[in-house]
Chains A and B, each alone.
Chain A
Amino acid sequence: MQYKSQAVAKPYFIAAIGLFAAQIVFGLIMGLQYVVGDFLFPAIPFNAARMVHTNLLIVWLLFGFMGGAYYLIPEESERELHSPALAKVMFWIFLIAGALTIIGYLAMPYAELARLSGNDILQTMGREFLEQPLPTKVGIVVVALAFLYNISMTVLAGRKTSISLVLLLGLWGLAIFFLFSFYNPANLVKDKYYWWWVVHLWVEGVWELILGSLLAYVLIKVTGVDREVIEKWLYVIIAMSLVTGLIGTGHHYYWIGAPEYWQWWGSVFSALEPIPFFMMTVFAFNMVNRRRREHPNKAATLWALGTGVMSFLGAGVWGFLHTLAPVNYYTHGTQITAAHGHIAFYGAYAMVVLTIISYAMPIMRGREANSEKSQIVEMWAFWIMTIAMVFITLFLTAAGILQVWLQRVSTTPMPFMAAQDQVAIFYWMREVTGVFFAAGLVLYIISFFIGGKSAKAA
């Protein structure tokens, strides 16, 4: 570790992994409720489990992004963090606020939580992914501003590299677009229209800048390839991301009451959205092939390559699968969407956070890389989680195709619940695969506790 203050990233990464584990537990509960509908009812109704599952995902990724930023910004800026103390305080505020929110979801009916938390003052709750009570939403803004202040001051005072500027732009975009979560008009069409300004412009917009810069940073470190080359690639990739992703928002505007021209804009631009992800895969493999050094942390290199491939598969291929308006007309709001959501989030965002953790954590623990034994376990975890996620996606896709057929295409369309009964076998298979994913995650956590001598470069 070149700079002392990089160490503030460590609690962020540990919290991220802990919340990730909790997310998976709730994923397994929900998966089971799909087939055993009354499982844990009424203690944990499906909607509560789902809020916990998706909100934990968002929060652990944010912890990962922040940890990643705190780790790489001092090194890129060639100076200590503006205020390590502020970073530590914000960590605890965010963690405690997050935990209280989750307890709120589980401990009481949602309407009660809304009443207690001041939803009457400014009504923002009860919209998918933005279920957080008002104090939590305000808290997110405060934490984000303190974090951005800290990071921006560090970058401004030090060396400005393309990686840190792109990361900063991504993080500022994340904070700015979150402000649309406070806008909730009674007009449902407008509500939905601007809701996507948070949801889509995050995951198919500014988060891609964060993804690109974290990946570029790790690739510079593990391959030793010239910074100029990697940063040029970074710009090309994120340029393509935003060029396609901004207007690509249109693929969410087909059926919510927005004008029909969005079917054209949305189809054309989202058909191009796989391109940046394809470039990212080519980029990662290219850089690793041209490497000038053998970094002893092979696990981190594997995660970096995996991020490229899986984000292309998940965000690119599975996104494209149902993005054209005539296809989406049948697949909108079915298990196809769920399939895409799972692999895209894992492949792009979960994996890039695991990449930066894999690279930075050993260094923060005083060694360049973990022992061979520890890395082997980590790589097993990589393969088990990744392959499990591919199968979860395949089973959900199968469920989705069948659902579309039975409920929407067939000449005698079935009601929703009747169609669900018909596809139950795929939900069972998804649940079993989910258990494999959880086992992979347990192995991943175990790898942190395997000691031994630090691995040497081959």
Chain B
Amino acid sequence: MSGTFTKSTARNIFYGGSMFFFLLFVALTFDTNATLPKRDNSQNLTEQVARGKKVWETHDCIGCHTLLGEGAYFAPELGNVYVRRGPDFIKAWIKAQPTGAPGRRQMPQFHLTDAQLDDLVAFLKYTSEINTSKWPPNIEG
């Protein structure tokens, strides 16, 4: 084995193999980008949704919650929360934090304005309409 399989063979496999699979990955990415408009709900991507995403990001919601399964696992999945709870519940819930229940996980009070709450809800509605291949398995996320 050591006679025929030399270091330079191994090196060529590394450079050739990685280059090939990287290009394949780039090609799949192009194809993904081309098909995304059918799945990513971008037709409903309004200014308000973009503002809502900013509210989501600047309050580090991902630091406790998951969104489409990514984030922290400390608090509920919110990709489908719009479907699970509806807009009014979401807004009332955020306004009522923290619950102050002893020993229970606490969500901070963010002092969001009504406009910010509406933006955030718009973002969560848009997110819930992305085609996620039927994930999560049920409404509980």
Do A263 and B103 touch (CB < 8 A)? no
Decide if A391 is an interface residue (CB 8 Å cutoff): no
Report B-chain residues with C-beta under 8 Å of the C-beta of A294. Answer: none
Given known contacts A127-B57, A263-B133, A256 and B62 CB-to-CB distance under 8 angstroms: no
| Interface of A: prevailing SS | helix
Complex Cα distance A301/B141, Å? 45
The digit string for A104-132, where 1 denotes a CB below 8 A from any CB of B, is 00000111001100010001011110010
Mask for B12-55, Cβ within 8 A of A = 1, else 0?
A: 01100110011011001101110110011110010001100110
7 residue pairs bridging A and B, Cβ less than 8 Å apart: A47-B60, A114-B57, A128-B72, A236-B13, A247-B21, A247-B24, A256-B130
Bound form: Cα–Cα A262–B138 in Å: 22
What residues make up the interface of B, taking CB atoms closer than 8 Å to A? 2, 5-7, 10-11, 13-14, 17-18, 21-22, 24-25, 28-29, 31-33, 35-36, 39-42, 45, 49-50, 53-54, 56-64, 66-77, 98, 100-106, 108, 110, 126-127, 130-133, 135-141
Please state if B10 and A333 are interface contacts (CB–CB under 8 Å): no
- Contact status B137-A408, CB under 8 Å: yes
Using known A-B contacts A38-B106, A413-B140, determine if residue A47 contacts B72 with beta carbons closer than 8 Å.
yes
Q: With an 8 A cutoff between CB atoms, is A187 at the interface?
A: yes
CA distance A235 to B86 in the complex (A): 54
Docked-complex contact B59 and A162, CB < 8 angstroms: no
A254 to B11, CA, bound (A): 33
Query: Which of the residues B53, B70, B133, B137 comes within 8 Å of A330, measured between beta carbons?
Result: B137
A309 to B79, CA, bound (A): 37
**What residue of chain A has the Cβ atom nearest to residue B12's Cβ?**
A235
- Contact partner of B57 (CB less than 8 A), chosen from A41, A125, A187, A193, is A125
Known contacts A46-B72, A256-B132; 5 further A-B pairs (Cβ under 8 A): A41-B98, A110-B60, A188-B126, A259-B36, A413-B140
C-alpha gap A105/B90 in the complex (Å)? 26
Contacts A126-B62, A189-B130 known; A416 to B141 CB distance under 8 Å? yes
A196 CB → nearest B CB, Å? 9
Q: Is A219 an interface residue (CB 8 A)?
A: no
What's the Cα separation between A131 and B36 when bound, in Å?
26
Q: Which 7 A-B pairs have the closest CB atoms?
A: A47-B63, A126-B57, A333-B69, A37-B105, A235-B10, A255-B135, A239-B14
